[in-house]
Structure 1
Amino acid sequence: MQELAGLKRRLTALERKPDTITKFDRYPVIEGEAVPRGPISGNPWNTCGLANVTGMVFDRIECKFNTDWLIKGRREAEVRLAAFRHSGKGERKIVSVSGTLELNGLANRAVATVLMRWIHGIPYGWDYEDDTTVYTIELQHRYKRGPEHPKGQTIYAIAAQEGSATNGNILNWGYRQDDGGKWWWIPAYRNGSPWAPDFVTVPNRDPGTYSISAMHYCVGLPQERIPEASTNGWAWIQGSDGKWTRDPNLSEPFFSI
């Protein structure tokens, strides 16, 4: 009886299967705000791009995104694709993931373009048991190395806190005479107390974090269009070194959104 019921549900699913209007389906990309990209709480996966793929006709997807400020040996990233099932009750359950793609950047700054192809593993691409279930594919990323602490040039100089004029501590400059009778050009507070020099750090303009865009697009394609797609994933990278490093792992922690 259970097998007959399952077969009936599958036949119903075929009747409800979305019609293929074109050779492939395009789905809008929804960008969620990325959580700060540091190694927070053990460096879990962090989602920066979402695509609603409910009703997707094909089992293979292609997505594209950009990265910036990946510097080899200083700040590097890991990325993967993950599929989720969202119920009408707001529940979100991970269904499948790709392998882990390591993006190492280059010796100098370069904007990288990454194209990933993946067999998403979502059953049918739609849910045949109810009308409220939604599927999404999410672009997830995290640090492989970093983040790099911002550094700067240290200068020995006389300085005051920015905005010190707001509380009346305007610096007055002028000659002051020491106990030996020598005169020195030094600044002083308005109340006459001396202001001693100290080390001042001027931060570098080079940021200490990398950037990653949301997915430019997430497209469902037939096998003849993207035969390279696999359950682990396939990638084409321009502007960065990269390689696949780990197999799919559903148990790795990720941020909830």
Structure 2
Amino acid sequence: MAINANALSPSLVNELNDLKRRLAAVERKPDVLAKFDRYPTNDWAAVGRGKVAGNVWSSCGIANVTGLVYDRVEVKFITDNFIKGKREGEVRLAAFKHTGNNIKECVSATTSVQLHGGTSRAVDSFVMRWVHGIPFGWDYEDGTSVYTIELQHRYLVGPDTSAITYVAGPIKKNATTDDGLTGFSQTINGETWWQMYYQSSKGWTWQRRPISDDDGSYNISNFHYCVGLPESVIPEAHPIGWGWTSMEGVSTGDPGNINDPWIG
């Protein structure tokens, strides 16, 4: 049998073919047309976040990181109104791949951080650093996939419905007239006092409705920033995540699970 001494091993051939695909993808990648600094603005405030879809992971902030150069990112956000035993939650960072036709896949996630809070309302800040696990920052095989890094939350305790203020009054669904609702007055010590009467047969009943701005939820802001940085700048970044916060009552939650239910 003839032996070709210059033949390449199958594994090396595959590696070379893979390298060719990457180089071809780099050639296809569009050049930056506007070579100037861009500073996206964002609202500072922490926004009320209620339970979503039965308390699955839902996103507070979304950063489009398609084309990200570095393998790690730093993010910052703030929280408000986490109160121990009443409004507690957990957050994580998760990376998603979007392949078109509304197909979205979770490809990596940090360990969750449980936010218990203190005994009174407080505004706190968070910085998290993460090795995100997105290959090359973009998909070199097709050059069309979009990647996002998202700040997600879900509840541990709450929302705190005891904080909601209610008012009770007669109400009728789709009422177009006051038929069946009337008032009765009487004079007591020279003053006129009124009482409200309604007929249940006309569809009226007493209803409680919340009237306060506090719906019992905690507040989390969008990303104040999400930026890729080199290892020399954020050496603490880790695949399970690393973070710092001013909040009291913080603990480590479950390991990152890309199969956890989420919405969005």
1:151 and 1:64, CA in 2 relative to 1: closer, same or farther beyond 3 A? closer
Which residue is 1:150 aligned to? 162
SS of 1:106 mapped into structure 2 = coil
Match of 1:110 among 102, 107, 122: 122
CA contact (8 A) 1:51 1:137 kept: yes
For 1:61, which of 52, 70, 73 is the aligned residue?
73
Separation in 2, partners of 1:143, 1:72? 12
1:230 deviation in Å?
0.3
1:224 aligned onto 2:232: yes
1:215 lines up with 2:232 in the alignment:
no
Q: Partners of 1:27 and 1:93 in 2: how far apart?
A: 28
Equivalent residues in 2 for 1:47-86, closer than 5 Å? 47-86=59-98
Matches within 5 A, 1:19-30: none
Q: Distance in 1 between matches of 2:38 and 2:239?
A: 20
Alignment-derived partner of residue 182 in structure 1: none
CA distance in 2, matches of 1:71, 1:4: 56
Q: How does 1:129-168 map to 2 (within 5 A)?
A: 129-151=141-163, 160-161=169-170, 167=178
Which TM-score applies when normalising by structure 2?
0.72
After TM superposition, give the deviation of residue 187 of structure 1 in Å. Answer: 3.5
Q: Of 233, 253, 264, which aligns to 1:245?
A: 253
How many aligned residue pairs are there?
232
Q: Greater CA deviation, 57-66 or 84-93?
A: 84-93
CA-based RMSD of the aligned residues comes to 3.9
Instruction: State the secondary structure of the residue aligned to 2:258.
Output: coil
The aligned residue for residue 38 of structure 1 is 51
TM-score, structure 1 length as denominator?
A: 0.74
Q: Which runs of 5+ in 1 are unaligned?
A: 177-184, 192-197
Cα distance change, pair 235–55 in 1 and its aligned pair in 2 (3 A): same
Instruction: Give the counterpart letter for 2:256 in structure 1.
Output: P
> In the alignment, residue 48 of structure 1 is paired with which amino acid?
C
